[in-house]
């Protein structure tokens, strides 16, 4: 099972590759759009990398409320949890 710290490291890596923002000060409270200047194209790129890496599917309805790094971490964690994988 993947722990939250590992998911966070992977997410930061994906964010760094999709944007020119400085991710060294990223916290879970960082807003993806204003804090990282992530536009919709960048966001889609990050989501595609997450889906490929974790072999999960993130649908629009799940992503709509995602605003912060914590929101995205929570969503990824829920999708890759053992219960979600067994379903």
What DSSP state is assigned to residue 81? S
Region label for 3, one of left (φ > 0), alpha (ψ between -120 and 50) or beta (otherwise)? beta
Look at the block and give the residue holding tokens 């964690």: 77
| 21/43 Cα distance (integer angstroms) | 13
| 12/61 Cα distance (integer angstroms) | 23
pTM of the shown model: 0.87
Alpha carbon 6 to its chain's center: 12
Multiple choice CATH, 4-86, 3.40.50.150, 1.10.1200.10, 2.40.50.140, 3.40.50.10860: 1.10.1200.10
Model pLDDT for residues 7-38, shown as the tens digit of each residue = 999 999 999 888 877 788 889 999 999 988 88
């Amino acid at each position: 099972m993947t722990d939250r710290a590992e998911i966070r490291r992977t997410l930061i890596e994906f964010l760094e590759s999709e944007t020119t923002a400085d991710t060294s000060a990223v916290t879970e409270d960082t807003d993806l759009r204003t804090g990282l200047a992530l536009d919709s194209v960048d966001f889609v790129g990050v989501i595609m990398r997450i889906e490929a890496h974790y072999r999960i599917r993130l649908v629009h309805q799940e992503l709509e409320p995602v605003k912060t790094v914590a929101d995205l971490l929570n969503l990824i964690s829920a999708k890759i949890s053992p219960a979600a994988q067994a379903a």
